[in-house]
Every structure is written in structure tokens, then in C-alpha cells.
Amino acid sequence: MNYRHLFHAGNFADLLKHAMLLDLLREMTGGDLALTVIDTHAGAGLYDLASGAARRTGEAVAGVGRLISTPDAPMVFGALKAAVARANLGDPIRYYPGSPVLIQQGLRPRDRYIACELRPDDYAALKGVMPRQAGVLVLNEDGWAAGIQRVTPWPEPLLVLIDPPFERPDDGVKAVDLIEAMLLRNRGAVVALWAPIKDLTTFDALVSDIQDAAPAAPILITELRLRGLGDPMRMNGCAMIVVNSPSSLETHAHEAAEWIASQMGEAGGLGRTEWRNR
């Protein structure tokens, strides 16, 4: 697989994904029971935005760079901005924290985090970034298989982040299959899937398949489009599809998507939320 997230770290898609992830963590760590988080495609954990790969695309400058330099950005980004500041120790932005760093910092001592990363180089980087502490498990394994093996049973709280590169044509099918399998083991699992939006036909088919896989679960779909969907060869936007989403997520997700579209989008850009199975 050729995809490397370093080229895209801190871009518009990361801002939406990570703002919603941190909101989910805040919501799900508010109870008495220990939370388990499974991250199926964890990546390297921390990204150097000064590297040649990151500078080549300029996506971080247009994304997290714009966010940090905008003092009146919505409060939904407050936790993410604080995490970026921690990663840089107050200095100008050089490092962007990926989902493993954000999740680990958002959990309580009694919670558990399982990070799966198949690429040997990203796994080695992730091991170097993550603290060696009880409750944090970093695996050099295929997240599609390892994720289902570590599902906690109902009624234990479970949050699953599925964030594949969608470089392989079957990534969407695998995501749907994993969602269905996880809900069979824990019907209350909150499963957050990141997906690109290139054309509406492909995206609508993915959403429909997820509805079929999770017919009894409320599903919150947050769409962020940077432009119209006229060119299916481009990534015109992205979405977060959250199965068993808390109701409280909707307002913040809509606010985040709308702000990113208005600040970073082109003509035809939009941010919207929609419920299915509710």
C-alpha cells in the first residue's frame, strides 16, 4: 500500500475527524465504566509538518495552519487546538498529533486503547510515540482482523475508529463487514468510520450498505464537501459516519463541518449532518 498519511496530516479531513473523535471521547469517558477504544488504522501517531512530504502538498498549512491562526474558530475545535499546542510545546506548529496521541491523552487511567498498524515503519514510529503504560496496546497487525478479535462484550462501552486509506477497492466492503461483526458482539458499540467523498453514487452506496449492516442503530452522517462533486477523480470532501452516535455529537459535528467548508472550501462546498435509522 503506497498511501502515507504524512502527506495529508493536519488537512481539512483530519480537522473534521479529530474534532469529532475528541467530542466522542469526552462524551464516552463521562460514565463510571471503563471505555475500550479500538483504532484499526492507527498510523504513525505524530507527524512532522516540516518534512518534505508534508510540505509538498501544503495541506497542513491550509488545514491546521488556518485553524490555529483563526482566533474566532468555533469552540468545537478547542480540544484539538489544545492537543496541537501540547504536541508543539507552545512553539510554532511543526508537529500534528494523529488519532493515537489524541485518544491516549483523552482517556482515563482505567480505560483501554488498542492501536493497530500494519505498516512496519509506521508501527515502529507509533511505538516510539506512545507511552508504555497499562491500558495502551500497540499492535503490528491488520486492523480489519485484529479489531474484531478485541471487541468487548455488551454492555461494556466500546468506541471503534475505522480510518482506512480507501486506496484499495475493497476498503469500503471491509468497513461495512467490520461494523456488522462488531455490532453482533457489542450492540452498543459506537463505530466511527472516516470515508472520502469523490462522487455521490459511491458515497450513497456506502451509507446504504452501513444502514443494512446496522439496521437497529442510529447513524449520524457528517458530510464535508470542499467543492461540488463534478470530478470523481478528486477527493472532493470527506465524511464521518458514526454508528450508535450519541445525540450530543450532532450539533458540534455540523458546526465543525460548516466552518471548515466556509474557510477552506470552494464554490459548491458545504457541511451538513443527517441521521439514518432514527
Task: Pick the closest to residue 237 from 7, 12, 3 (CA basis).
Answer: 12
Alpha-carbon gap, residue 175 to 102, rounded angstroms: 22
Query: What's the one-letter identity of residue 120?
Result: P
- Strands 112-116 and 36-39 come out as parallel
Question: Residue 130: is its pLDDT beyond 70?
Answer: yes
Determine the average pLDDT of the residues in 89-96: 88
Instruction: Count Cα neighbours of 21 within 13 Å in the Cβ-side half-sphere.
Output: 30
Name the band, by pLDDT with cuts 50, 70 and 90, for residue 133.
confident
Mean pLDDT of the chain: 95
Determine the average pLDDT of the residues in 155-181: 96
DSSP string, 125-180: HHHHHS---TTEEEE-S-HHHHHHHTPPPTTS-EEEEE-----STTHHHHHHHHHH
Q: What cell numbers appear for 238 in the block?
A: 470527506
pLDDT of residue 3: 60
Domains of the chain, first to last? 5-276 (3.40.50.150)
Contact 81, 67 (CB under 8 A): yes
pTM of the model: 0.96
pLDDT digits (tens, 9 = 90+) for 33-87: 999 999 999 999 999 999 998 888 899 999 999 999 999 999 999 999 999 999 9
Alpha-carbon gap, residue 251 to 222, rounded angstroms: 10
pLDDT of residue 1: 41
Phi, psi (5° rounding) for residue 160? -120, 125
pLDDT of residue 155: 95
